[in-house]
Structure 1
């Protein structure tokens, strides 16, 4: 890329950054806000033994759920897997390790990773053995807290409504979900976007993710969400 402000490329060009055993963070909530073109490229690449970080495991044939359903995931940190019965079966069979994390704490751990904060403290889940398993605690005053480590990834894949060629992003309503946080927490952040506009076209007040957090932009091949949810 000769122009330092030009981050636009294709999924095929970027697949070289992906490898077996890597840590991958993704935006999305039940598939909405997940990047379909990037996910398809990952599926086609055949990479496996992934460690995933994201809100959920999608549905068997929607969003990140497609990667999970093919048995490509070794471990996942997530808030729930209930919408993908294949994920539940993989966990039960011992083929996928699942770290459950309350949704708000998961988002805050990702935010901490993007901000360079090593961990957060929380008393949420102190009475839940699943949440506390293997975690450190500390006491401040008379209150005991869980030490929740920050989360980062080798690559974050996110989905946005619009971008300029520098990587400034805006999102579409609820599809925004965890995408801005994941954009901050990846060593490499790849944004799939519906529309790419010239520099200066986005008003500064509407930009949610500044381009400094985005390494590459991929034009989305699109998805019919009405059809997908039917």
Structure 2
């Protein structure tokens, strides 16, 4: 497995913020936390590639938003924030080594953080960053490959995966107050407590799930549900509105 990541930009303090108040951000600490995150991926068998091509762009570490990577194809996104659209060209050559490419075109917008894949279904958050045109383009691109695309209304957070992620193909971790849960009927849903709402963004790994450090109740809930849990500190990156899924594009061989 390949994990495509990007070096933390020295301009990360100028990142886009939607639901968080801007705070002072320690670049060295953010880079140490990102390195620890990469080390977790390596321990789980991922070969980590760290790009630097977009280092001048404040949000470039959050590579998830630039593409949706599936077994058959990678779809280059068109981020909803205009300041982030330049990132996509820098990511293209890295993905082209592993997948045929397609791309979302104007007026569509699509952030990878709004796309949750569970099996052959992609749930797409309709948010401030992703519009219906972007979702419909994704549906058309993926239809020949047998994927279903289902819209989900997002109303309380930045991206769909801020509020819901998959621990396995049958279990979701969610903070339901931020999204419409109706499209997720049939799943087991583990609800994070209100004071740990940001813990809904977990990263599913080969043998365990990764939870952001500091969310003890969510960690305990997942262990009680039968999951092996690891934690990593991303407290500095969270000041830039990050979650665990944001900082990598995971590519199967």
Question: TM-score, normalized by length of structure 2?
Answer: 0.34
Larger radius of gyration, structure 1 or 2?
A: 1
Larger relative strand fraction: 1
Higher helix share: 2
